[in-house]
């Protein structure tokens, strides 16, 4: 799904679907990640499911303001999480730029290829986050539980969302 017609021109509906819906989902998934289930362990679990719409934007959106908007999404996550301002903003922007840099390869890749690319970029992003957290002693104490859960949840959510997207696309045909 490239969001373009056979002539290569996006209709207004396709532009909304490709440019606005993933951002809206990103904000919603950040908020959903903070729903409490009443267990103490879930207070430290942070699913990074919002990375999937960011990955989609990196591959398919043609807007030049996307890095700025993605950085604002990261600042929003910083405010919601209570992390130092700029921590998630840097990580999410790095993730977006890394995925966007591999756009030509990943758009043509198979499902496994996209998942592998997503996995590598996610792992690099969270490793980069670990390096930033290592500079601050107060962030490193719960880093493994929080970031580990974020990495694992985002890696398993990606293929599920792709499969659901393929099923929806098949039903529309």
pLDDT, average across residues 84-106: 92
Which are the contacts of 102, defined by CB distance < 8 A and separation ≥ 6? 117, 121
Contact 86, 75 (CB under 8 A): yes
Question: Does residue 94 carry a pLDDT above 70?
Answer: yes
Q: How confident is the model at residue 101 (pLDDT cuts 50, 70, 90)?
A: very high
3-state helix, strand, coil in the chain (%, to 5): 75, 0, 25
CA distance 52 to 107: 14
**How many Å apart are CA 68 and CA 120, to the nearest integer?**
23
- Rounded to whole angstroms, the Cα distance separating 165 from 56 reads 12
- pLDDT, one tens digit per residue, over 127-167 is 888 888 878 777 666 566 667 777 777 777 777 766 655 55
Q: Are residues 133 and 140 in contact, defined by beta-carbon separation less than 8 angstroms?
A: yes
Tokens of 163: 């499969």
Which position has the higher pLDDT, 37 or 99?
A: 99
Structure pTM? 0.78
Residue 74 near residue 67 (C-beta atoms within 8 A): no
Q: 122: buried, middle or exposed (CB in 10 Å: 19+, 13-18, 0-12)?
A: buried
């Amino acid at each position: 799904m490239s969001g373009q017609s056979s002539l290569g021109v996006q209709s207004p509906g396709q532009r909304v679907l490709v440019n606005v819906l993933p951002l809206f989902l990103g904000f919603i998934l950040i908020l959903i990640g903070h729903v409490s289930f009443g267990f103490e362990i879930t207070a430290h679990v942070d699913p990074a499911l919002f990375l999937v719409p960011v990955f989609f934007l990196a591959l398919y959106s043609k807007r030049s303001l996307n890095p700025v908007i993605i950085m604002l999404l990261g600042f929003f996550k910083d405010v919601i999480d209570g992390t130092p301002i700029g921590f998630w903003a840097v990580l999410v922007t790095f993730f977006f730029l890394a995925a966007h840099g591999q756009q030509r390869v990943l758009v043509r890749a198979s499902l496994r290829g996209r998942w592998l690319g997503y996995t590598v970029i996610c792992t690099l992003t969270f490793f980069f986050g670990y390096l930033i957290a290592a500079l601050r002693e107060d962030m490193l104490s719960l880093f493994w539980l929080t970031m580990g859960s974020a990495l694992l949840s985002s890696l398993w959510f990606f293929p599920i969302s792709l499969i659901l997207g393929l099923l929806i696309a098949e039903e529309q045909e």
